[in-house]
């Protein structure tokens, strides 16, 4: 089941008309947002941090 379909069902369960202007594209937008926000989990942070030099800073 695609995430957009699940979001669509949530919107319907909240009592909204899924065909209403301003709501029609919402499920696809929410799905796209989650894909973008969670995309970093497929990367190994070590490859981005290997060139970072850490210095201890005393406050």
* Position 37 in a domain: yes
Q: Judge whether 35 lies within some domain.
A: yes
| Res. 27: pLDDT tops 90 | yes
Per-residue confidence at 57, pLDDT binned at 50, 70, 90? low
Please tell me the total count of domains within the chain: 1
3-state class (DSSP) for residue 3: helix
| CATH code, domain with 20 | 1.10.286
In a domain, 55, yes or no: no
Q: Is residue 38 part of a domain?
A: yes
pTM tops 0.75: no
Answer whether 27's CB lies under 8 Å from 21's CB: no
Q: Are 5 and 26 in contact (CB under 8 A)?
A: no
Residue 39 lies in a domain: yes
Mean pLDDT, residues 21-46 taken together = 92
Q: Measuring CA to CA, which residue among 56, 42, 51, 22 is closest to residue 11?
A: 22
Domain that holds residue 34: 3-49
Question: Is residue 30 predicted with pLDDT exceeding 90?
Answer: yes
CB of 13 within 8 A of CB of 7?
A: no
Report pLDDT for 58: 66
Q: What confidence score (pLDDT) does residue 26 get?
A: 96
Q: What is the pLDDT of residue 59?
A: 61
> Has residue 29 been placed in a domain?
yes
At 25, give phi and psi (nearest 5°).
-90, -5
């Amino acid at each position: 089941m695609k995430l957009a379909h699940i979001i669509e069902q949530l919107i319907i369960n909240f009592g909204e008309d899924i065909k209403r202007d301003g709501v029609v594209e919402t499920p696809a937008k929410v799905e796209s947002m989650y894909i973008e926000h969670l995309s970093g989990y497929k990367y190994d942070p070590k490859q981005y941090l290997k060139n970072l030099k850490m210095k201890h800073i005393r406050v």
